[in-house]
Structure 1
């Protein structure tokens, strides 16, 4: 989809001033700086542990439970919180978390990651407490600035973050009890809760980014369909809690269809030559497809490999969240750092590596002789993608805005 010849070689403006020194105060000025680094680094490392060193995963949170937890709450939710802490400062005019409090939030995040890996019961409880505090802190500071800035359209965001934290507590409780069936139900609840946040944010920023990047492009914000989408997705969560999978499936199906309708209305043909945009369109559309597959699974449709929950989980989690994330951590970081909104070849390569990893992982769901090789190749491509992001962006994220 991208025209490589049209991609600038450098992210740096020719008129850019001399290279600045790293600055601790600037690093802790907005939530995206440390949390983008933390989330992307953990994305690269945790998947390597899961695929190449699963023997390290013992204790109360082990095996596939650890992998599912760390992908959703350790990686995706971390990036989401980093984005929301930063975006809310723009929405309200008040920075919700910076300096020492932001540093302490990052310490809570690190304690959680280390505690779950340690393998002991006390470490598990310490990690769970630290992680719960992080979600609670994030929700409280977000609510505070929303109220202070009278950002009424965003009053629900802190409660979605709180819901994500609650789903995490339920998941951890099930993991400690050893109840795999209930554990996966709570994981699915957290996945849908995260999808609500992702859809809410992306529906607002994707058309805005597109119109800013392409002169003369006019696309609708689709506020009304977004409101219906939000109501239906929140209803789906409530139905899931109430144990009504069939009705929940109907709500998810309509939510997914609305996502695809919105993507088409945003004139995707106009952004094919802009990798920094089409990556966001692709992730948003993939989220819609994933929700449709989730609906089909809950309704009992499909045969063979399509009956597995892993299909829609990876469609939403990898094809949806992760493709959106690699685009968002690029676009929003450049914007907030005062950099030109242009990509170098390394970042376009990272986009294709994430897409390649998604395709390989979905192919590995089929029970074939190549399954193990596909898993290894997917994990390698995935980790290389986020390593490329860190290599390119960490030097900028630890320095003051231009």
Structure 2
């Protein structure tokens, strides 16, 4: 017998809660995902600096792109979605042995990628490709059970992401750099689409609750325009080799204007005293900026690069939004006050600094390796603060004694 509490937590009286770390998906995936991002970036920085030469699956560039997107980002979104779906549907989320098995599937793939030729390639590919479809299946089960079709949108997105993952593995098998670009670019745009959907639902609410101000009411036409414009960027981005560069630029710049208008309405200035909120706003501002850079980068004589656009969306938007969201969700779902102190404020600023250095560092740092090392250092500081602060939070039961 299950009971939905007022804060979205589920009490399942017939099932033992078990080890706190495996009671809900956010616990293992947030912590392990954050730790993995630190390990992954440390390895990438060491490779670029010439300190190590590991025989990584797919080569160091492929491994870096793949593991940050399908290792780190996929883990965080899995933790978020499989926790949120419990609140959305009232159906108890995955936990215990089943959750442990899902985490193991993700972890084994990460180990296999790192071992390269030492691990059987076919098995590593199969394990890695299984993860996102399994997550989609777990999510779909809860949504379909209560016929909550509004949230079903995440299922096909996860499956398309799995397709992008398959393209990246195909790039390794075919030794085709263009497939690497296609697969990684697809994932970046799909994650950006997912972020705009999630942020549109929660940022206005978090802003109002965190600052004690009136909630900004959504404009239906603008919300529809945000979704349609992001879908258009996904299509234009993938079809860009066969489309006029001017048309692609127009699509991306139009989406940037639409999403810029959306975040402008959320009133950034009221958030300045609330780190958990201003960090979300700063991360979302990176989306219209990244879309603008993406559109401009394809024009003749462009003064910005596609790499700058991609890293604005990945380091700036994804990196900071993920850190802000996992910091907030971890507190809320463990029954703790939703407020952070100077340590996490420093963490948010550090990841934002990582974005500034990675995207614009070439304008004030002559050495590319130094730029990467500096950006990686800021990232390690930011996510290291999270691990230090949230390790006891995620590893212990709820502060209020409730399940979850």
* Fold-level similarity (TM above 0.5): yes
- Name the residue aligned to 2:223: 226
**Aligned residues: CA RMSD:** 2.0
Q: Following the alignment from structure 1 to structure 2, what is the Cα–Cα distance between the partners of residues 34 and 95? A: 17
List structure 1 segments (4+ residues) > 6 angstroms apart after TM superposition: none
Which blocks of at least 5 consecutive residues in structure 1 are unaligned?
Answer: 1-22
Q: State yes or no: 1:361 paired with 2:355.
A: no
- Name the residue aligned to 2:61: 64
**SS of structure 2 residue aligned to 1:90:** helix
- Name the residue aligned to 1:259: 259
Q: State yes or no: 1:138 paired with 2:135.
A: yes
Q: Following the alignment from structure 2 to structure 1, what is the Cα–Cα distance between the partners of residues 278 and 159? A: 31
Summarize deviations over 1:260-297 as a string: whole Å, max 9, x none.
11111111111111111000000011112101211222
1:83 counterpart (80, 93, 118): 80
- Aligned 8 A contact 1:255 1:288 in 2: yes
Q: Following the alignment from structure 1 to structure 2, what is the Cα–Cα distance between the partners of residues 72 and 340? A: 31
Q: Following the alignment from structure 1 to structure 2, what is the Cα–Cα distance between the partners of residues 239 and 359? A: 26
Bigger CA drift: 83-92 or 207-216? 207-216
Q: How many residues align?
A: 377
Give the structure, 1 or 2, with the largest relative contact order (CA under 8 Å, sep 6 or more). 1
- Name the residue aligned to 2:28: 34
- Name the residue aligned to 2:398: 401
Q: Following the alignment from structure 1 to structure 2, what is the Cα–Cα distance between the partners of residues 84 and 383? A: 25
Q: State yes or no: 1:345 paired with 2:342.
A: yes
Displacement after TM superposition at 1:322 (Å): 0.5
Matching of residues 186-335 of structure 1 within 5 Å: 186-242=183-239, 244-246=242-244, 247-298=247-298, 300-304=299-303, 306=304, 308-335=305-332
Change (3 A) 1:323 1:248: same
Which blocks of at least 5 consecutive residues in structure 2 are unaligned?
Answer: 1-16, 400-404
Summarize deviations over 1:10-60 as a string: whole Å, max 9, x none.
xxxxxxxxxxxxx85322121111000111001111101001145444254
- Name the residue aligned to 1:5: none
Q: Following the alignment from structure 1 to structure 2, what is the Cα–Cα distance between the partners of residues 133 and 369? A: 42
Summarize deviations over 1:284-331 as a string: whole Å, max 9, x none.
111121012112224x25534x1x321101110011111111111111
Change (3 A) 1:192 1:339: same
User: TM-score, normalization: structure 1?
Assistant: 0.88
Change (3 A) 1:381 1:368: closer
- Name the residue aligned to 2:4: none
- Aligned 8 A contact 1:336 1:401 in 2: yes
